């Protein structure tokens, strides 16, 4: 039986909060708060669109969330500056542990990037950080027009990675993603990047918890 690994991208391999520095130009001391709300609403909007069966790709959710975050803080953006920030989102920085971990795992496991993002966005952000070549393939929810944590998305990931009846393990820093994957029958490892984060008590546990992707190769041996 071949264990396949499906890596979440945003928040796991690349850091959405990397936008905070760029937002200083637009939001000053509120930049970090704007960046945090931007990310929160990006996810919320995708969840809601999935439930409403009113799919728009993740880029649309990201743009709408940016507008919301700025408006909430009573800040203005020109359309040109909005476009600049959206373009910068395609060059989010990778976490320091991402590339070394993928390099350590490549050849031992089939590796896939599995994301709410569209293929062009994934190719851009992963390529920018030299991560793209580490993967055997990309899996985007855009293929089925829904978003994680829809069970259909995880079922699609099983098919798209060729797992079928073989084990597929999600690696994600997003607890809601881990819960969604586990509920859909996948293995799932939670990357607890923030020591203060609490895993929601839904009676669904991750297959393992790690603090850094550097711990992943050794953790996989014990699953």
Q: Catalytic residues, which ones?
A: 8
User: 80: which residues sit within 8 A by CB, 6+ positions away?
Assistant: none
Strand 4-7 with 208-210, pairing: unpaired
User: Each residue of 13-42: b (16+ CB within 10 Å) or e?
Assistant: bbbbebbbebbeebbeebbeebbebbbebb
CB 157, CB 139: distance < 8 Å: yes
CB 147, CB 167: distance < 8 Å: no
């Amino acid at each position: 039986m071949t264990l396949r690994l499906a890596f979440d991208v945003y928040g796991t391999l690349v850091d959405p909060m990397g936008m905070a520095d760029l937002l200083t130009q637009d939001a000053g001391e509120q930049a970090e708060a704007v960046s945090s709300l931007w990310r929160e609403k990006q996810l919320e909007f995708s969840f809601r669109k999935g439930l409403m069966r009113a799919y728009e790709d993740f880029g649309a959710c990201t743009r709408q969330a940016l507008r919301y975050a700025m408006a909430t803080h009573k800040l203005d953006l020109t359309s040109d500056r909005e476009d600049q920030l959206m373009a910068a989102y395609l060059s989010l920085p990778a976490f320091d542990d991402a590339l070394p971990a993928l390099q350590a795992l490549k050849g031992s496991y089939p590796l896939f990037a599995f994301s709410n993002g569209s293929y062009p966005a994934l190719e851009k952000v992963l390529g920018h950080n030299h991560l793209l070549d580490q993967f055997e393939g990309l899996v985007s929810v855009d293929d089925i027009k829904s978003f994680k944590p829809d069970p259909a998305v995880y079922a699609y990931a099983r098919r798209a990675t060729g797992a079928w009846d073989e084990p597929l393990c999600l690696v994600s820093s997003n607890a809601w993603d881990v819960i969604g994957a586990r509920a859909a029958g996948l293995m799932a490892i939670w990357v607890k990047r923030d020591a203060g984060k609490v895993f929601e008590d839904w009676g669904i546990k991750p297959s393992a918890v790690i603090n850094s992707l550097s711990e992943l190769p050794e953790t996989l041996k014990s699953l």
